[in-house]
Amino acid sequence: MKHIMSFGILASTVLAFASPVLAQTVFVSTQLRPIEEATVVREELLKDVGSVDYVVEEPPQFAVRMEAERQAGKHTVSLVGALHGELSPLADKDTLEPLDDLAKKLAASGMPQSLLDLGKLGKSTQQYIPWMQATYVMAAKKEALQYLPAGADVNALNYDQLIEWGKNMQDATGQPQIGFPAGPKGLMARYFQGYFYPSFTGGVVRTFQSADAAAGWEKLKALWAYVTPNSTSYDFMQEPLAAGEVMVAWDHIARLKNAISAAPDDYVVFPAPAGPKGRGYMPVVAGLAIPKGAPDKAGAEKVIEHLSMPETQLLTASKVGFFPTLNIKLPPDLDAGVALLAGAVTATQASKDAVISLLPVGLGDKGGEFNKVYMDSFQRIVLQNEPVADVLKAQGATMAKLMADTKAACWAPDAKSDGPCPVE
Amino acid sequence: MTNSRPWIPYLLILPSVAFLALLFVVPLVQTIWLAVSDNGAPSLANAERMVTDINFTRSVKNTFLLTIAVVPVQIALALAMGTMVAKVGRGRETILWIWTIPLGISDLAAGLVWLSILQNTGYLNSLLFGLGIIGRQASWLSYQTPVALFLAIAVAEIWRGTAIVMVIIVAGLNQVPKEFKEAAEIFGAGPWTRFWRITLPLIRPALQSALILRTVLAFEVFAVVYALGGRNFPVLVGEAYNWQNQNQNYSVAAAYAVLIMIISLAATLIYLKALKVDPERLP
């Protein structure tokens, strides 16, 4: 009897460990992490593609996990979903399966070639398949519109108008009403790389310490007088907007979505302001890739094809607010909040002075330190009030070293370079 | 029996030594090597990078200030609490139980509890506003209010960390024989004299353990600061975390880790020297 019992326990333990590993395609993603979004992925987006184990991972842990699996040579992950910049270090180490056949198929079904080319990450073969895209916009409570300076069009603001708007709101309410996500997990660095620098200097790296940049920083200091000091603790702007701590905010559309979808009638969503060199904006692309040595490559390809179908892409847009990578029209019955966000994205892309700024390319695992250059400059110039020229010179040197170390060539909007992107 | 097989004790501790070597010494050596090497060759580049970083000086200053502010208050509070419960007869267990509640809460949860009290839309602002003391929400935790931020973090740390000190000190107080106090009373010693001359010297081992534990933990403060201060109040462990997670430079993060270890070891040595405990009183 005793023997039978212990055998039973042993057998059930073995089964408990063995069975799920055998049958499932493990899909690790740094995107759609919050529990509500992950649930949508598991219960709706991946409903019809067999047994997929959707696992979410924070970006740093994701990098560690992929590296650990590569070093150990023991692969459990069959499919990864991550941002362009997070996949780039994996491609640099040559750890992703080429996906050219899939790319050909998707190009035929209407995925723009420019977007597909982004997925090559500068290599000759397709490294990832563009999965969904997003960008950053500004959102404001409708009651803030009454303080807009005379003659200002909210869809075509410039920095002077934003500053005046901030001043008007502060005068009227007694508190600064503009917010930025400059907290520890906020995406403020992207503001500098995709919006501030392109708008004021027309570049991101080359123009880092130019006179245009110095003038821009002075403008930002003027704006910061009307930005709530709590900004350095904000990670996602949807909470402070919904809580009424700020009236106007800039952030990633997915980090504004909850507030706006909950009360679409209370908000306007519009492009970020323009500077002397135009209206900088940064498209964000998330991609799907298959690591070399994936235990279930066929299953992973099936998931990629499924997620790239027009129906799934539209469902993704309406449920989580990331937009399709296929060239398809959004349906009229879209979630009202997502429709507002989509409107602002279109307005940004369609604005005549738009300056497109790509996510940093070729920095490998130095992306974090690249962000730090901008965040340190921000901390020293705006928060600690250090002289602009000195800070830009010091941080410019750090940036130049970073570019030399990684040998990253310039990317848009900087002019192309031979060799590492220079800091002029 | 024991004398005939002197190796038995060593054999018994062997598994734990092997365990420690595997899970503690190996990563420790790896971390140290990571900190003092660059591309596989010995180098001080990481240490230099750490020291020249804009947040380094601030994080060292903040960590030490916090330790200096928090640890003495915690020891004093714990001594006071321990002496108070010693006088209580019935209900002593209940009081101790309530006082040790913060022990059961994780650092981050403690930080979040205080965040809900102190943030703009938090309980404190609501209370002050309700009483008509302030006209609008005040910010206590921003980079523009460093003193309030420091006090908030110190209070949260004291709230969270005093219980463990108290537990150690109560254990120490329980070991002080009643006869000593009674004898002192007979000779006419007042409460202060009894405390300074009898209780304090007799609980020295407990005090030493509590001080070492709390100081080392204070140098490693992170979650509470992260929840309340974010980027506004850099501390050493926070910087190690940022370099590891945000900047993805494991070498500089390792340099911070080694620095924290050196500081903790130095503090422990100082306590061991300063509060010498007689060898016969060691467990």
Q: What is the pLDDT of residues A174-195, one digit of tens each?
A: 889 999 999 888 999 999 999 9
At A61, which CATH number? 3.40.190.10
User: Is residue A124 domain-shared with residue A179, that is, in the same domain?
Assistant: no
Minimum mean pLDDT among A4-8, A156-160, B85-89, B275-279: which range? A4-8
* Mean pLDDT (whole number) for A101-112: 85
Please name the member of B54, B136, B244 whose beta carbon is closest to the beta carbon of A379.
B54
User: Is residue A179 domain-shared with residue A219, that is, in the same domain?
Assistant: yes
Question: B3 vs B130, which has greater pLDDT?
Answer: B130
The answer to whether the Cβ–Cβ distance between A232 and B230 falls below 8 Å is yes
Q: Is A230 on the interface with B (CB under 8 A)?
A: yes
Q: Which chain B residues are Cβ-neighbours of A229 within 8 angstroms? A: 139, 142-145
* Mean pLDDT (whole number) for A285-300: 91
User: Is residue A204 domain-shared with residue A92, that is, in the same domain?
Assistant: no
Q: Which chain B residues are Cβ-neighbours of A244 within 8 angstroms? A: 121
User: Is residue A177 domain-shared with residue A246, that is, in the same domain?
Assistant: yes
User: Is residue A319 domain-shared with residue A400, that is, in the same domain?
Assistant: no
Mean pLDDT of chain A, nearest integer: 87
Q: How far is CA A112 from CA A138, A287, B110, in A?
A: 26, 14, 49
The pair phi, psi for residue B139, each rounded to 5°, is -100, 125
User: Is residue A60 domain-shared with residue A153, that is, in the same domain?
Assistant: no
* Mean pLDDT (whole number) for B37-42: 85
User: Is residue A224 domain-shared with residue A270, that is, in the same domain?
Assistant: yes
User: Is residue A101 domain-shared with residue A235, that is, in the same domain?
Assistant: no
The predicted structure's pLDDT at residue A383: 92
- The answer to whether ipTM exceeds 0.90 is no
Q: Is A239 on the interface with B (CB under 8 A)?
A: no
| Structural domain contains residue A321 | yes
| Structural domain contains residue A152 | yes
Joined together, the tokens standing for residue A2 give 């005793």
Question: B19 vs A406, which has greater pLDDT?
Answer: B19
The answer to whether the Cβ–Cβ distance between B121 and A245 falls below 8 Å is yes
Q: What is the pLDDT of residues A137-168, one digit of tens each?
A: 999 999 999 999 998 999 989 999 999 999 99
Q: What is the pLDDT of residues B58-107, one digit of tens each?
A: 999 999 999 999 999 999 999 999 888 877 878 888 988 888 888 888 88
Whole-number Å distance between alpha carbons of A163 and A147: 11
Q: What is the pLDDT of residues A34-78, one digit of tens each?
A: 888 899 999 999 988 888 999 999 887 888 889 899 999 889 999
| Structural domain contains residue A14 | no
| Structural domain contains residue A109 | yes
Residues in chain B whose Cβ is within 8 Å of chain A? 54, 120-121, 136-137, 139, 141-145, 226, 229-232, 242, 244-249
The predicted structure's pLDDT at residue A335: 81
Q: What is the pLDDT of residues A322-350, one digit of tens each?
A: 888 887 777 777 788 888 888 888 888 77
User: Is residue A31 domain-shared with residue A120, that is, in the same domain?
Assistant: yes
Mean pLDDT of chain B, nearest integer: 88
Joined together, the tokens standing for residue B108 give 């981050």
| Structural domain contains residue A5 | no
User: Does residue A266 have a pLDDT over 60?
Assistant: yes
Whole-number Å distance between alpha carbons of A422 and A341: 36
Domain holding A121, by residue range, is 25-134+285-328
The answer to whether the Cβ–Cβ distance between B248 and A369 falls below 8 Å is yes
User: Is residue A201 domain-shared with residue A70, that is, in the same domain?
Assistant: no
Give the number of domains in chain A.
2
| Structural domain contains residue A324 | yes
Cα–Cα–Cα angle for B8, B9, B14, nearest 5°?
Answer: 95
pTM of the model: 0.82
| Structural domain contains residue A338 | no
| Structural domain contains residue A9 | no
User: Is residue A140 domain-shared with residue A122, that is, in the same domain?
Assistant: no
CB A80, CB A291: distance < 8 Å: yes
Q: Which chain A residues are Cβ-neighbours of B143 within 8 angstroms? A: 229, 232, 383
Whole-number Å distance between alpha carbons of B122 and A379: 26
The answer to whether the Cβ–Cβ distance between B231 and A184 falls below 8 Å is yes
The answer to whether the Cβ–Cβ distance between B246 and A372 falls below 8 Å is yes
Shortest distance, CA B227 to any CA of chain A (angstroms): 9
pLDDT band at A21; cut points 50, 70, 90? very low
User: Does residue B231 have a pLDDT over 70?
Assistant: yes
Q: Is A49 on the interface with B (CB under 8 A)?
A: no
Q: Which residues pair with A158 in a beta bridge?
A: A274
User: Is residue A232 domain-shared with residue A145, that is, in the same domain?
Assistant: yes
Please name the member of B232, B242, B247 whose beta carbon is closest to the beta carbon of A233.
B232
